[in-house]
Amino acid sequence: MKGRPTDPEGARDRKAEHIALSLQAGMQSDRNPFDDYVFEHEALPELDFAEIDTRARFLGKPLAAPLLISSMTGGTDAATAINRNLALGAEQARIALAVGSQRKALEDPAHAASFRIRDAAPTIPLLANLGAVQLNYGFGLEACEAAVRMIDADALVFHLNPLQEAIQPEGQRNFAGLLAKMEAVAARLSVPVVVKEVGSGITRETAWALAGRGLRLIDVAGMGGTSWARIEGRRADNDDLGAIFADWGLPTPESIRQVRAVPGVTLIGSGGIRSGLDAAKALALGADLVGMAAPFLAPALDAPESVAAKAERIIHELKIAMFCLGARTLDDLKRARIVRR
């Protein structure tokens, strides 16, 4: 990785701080936007619960349910155990997994071990991750391929985080020209590219722009979950700034609704999804896959079995929602009537 910039954070371990702050009270959105939506209950589902089928496919691989453990961490000592527990648990539950930003591992290979989890998750979809803004700070196709090879990934996530970078003390804020650069990488990369926000959502217009450049795997990651404004505000000793922008962005249900209007897009719904019921709502609103991060962090600090148990509980909750809608399959769920309160 010749010519890569050194990490500007100096002695601070940004990734370790992110983990610690994510576990603190007050770092989540004040309300869950999925609470604004309700299903029309089916009192006579004419369905055997045992027949409910949540199986799905993503990136050509089978899943027990359309569930992705979204990007969380990597590049710090604590992340090694977290990512391994996530990988073992996701493999057991047969759901997909994305790692956190691999930037530090590309700048310093000593951090790569915290990401190398393919041996623990040999059959599930595994997603690599880099900030799209890094394409303006020395990274290109070579770095992207290196991130993919590092974990034998099935896809590469480019995350978009302008709000986080704007508040982050060591933020990188040149987002000019990224659409064309992502398109150029995606055209030559050995695996598909997913474009993902980190908590402020993606609009219909942005999705159209992405799809028009061949970037058709989109994770909306809307407002409603972890507030990176609050986390970076705390790191910057500026809680007031974090509070001002804590609820900035498009709520996840609205972002899903807008992006679903763009044809040919594979849509991942994430941001504030905390249960199988929230997942059912996201799928009914138009998501093809559902991403969750914060609900898996505490289990990942415990053991792989805790991660698997959390996933299995979410899938069970999803099945209960489907049962009460008379939805035997995910296609049936997508036709369920869901209304805003």
| pLDDT tens-digit profile, the chain (341 residues) | 333 334 444 446 988 999 898 988 888 888 899 999 999 999 999 999 999 999 999 999 999 999 999 999 998 888 999 999 999 999 999 999 999 999 999 999 999 999 999 999 999 999 999 999 999 999 999 999 999 999 999 999 999 999 999 999 999 999 999 999 999 999 999 999 999 999 999 999 999 999 999 999 999 999 999 999 999 999 999 999 999 999 999 999 999 999 999 999 999 999 999 999 999 999 999 999 999 999 999 999 999 999 999 999 999 999 999 999 999 999 999 999 999 98
pLDDT at 4: 37
Report the domain count for the chain.
1
pLDDT at 10: 43
Angstrom distance (rounded) from CA 79 to CA 19 = 8
Judge contact between 179 and 210, C-beta under 8 A: yes
Among 5, 151, 181, CA closest to 71 = 151
| pTM of this prediction exceeds 0.85 | yes
The reply to whether 3 falls in a domain is no
3 state DSSP class of 94: coil
pLDDT at 1: 39
Which two three-digit tokens encode residue 172? 């990188």
The reply to whether 137 falls in a domain is yes
CATH of the domain at 117: 3.20.20.70
Buried b (16+ CB within 10 A) or exposed e, 133-161: bbbbeebebebbbbbbebbebbbbbbbbb
The reply to whether 7 falls in a domain is no
The reply to whether 1 falls in a domain is no
pLDDT at 23: 87
The reply to whether 274 falls in a domain is yes
pLDDT at 56: 98
Helix residue spans in 108-189 (DSSP H) = 141-151, 162-167, 178-188
Which two three-digit tokens encode residue 332? 């049936």
pLDDT at 315: 98
The reply to whether 25 falls in a domain is yes
pLDDT at 249: 97
The reply to whether 329 falls in a domain is yes
Judge contact between 200 and 163, C-beta under 8 A: yes
Give 340: exposed, middle or buried? Use CB within 10 Å, 0-12, 13-18, 19+.
Answer: exposed
The reply to whether 8 falls in a domain is no
Rg (CA), the chain: 19
Q: Which structural domain, as residue segments, surrounds residue 316?
A: 14-340
pLDDT at 252: 98
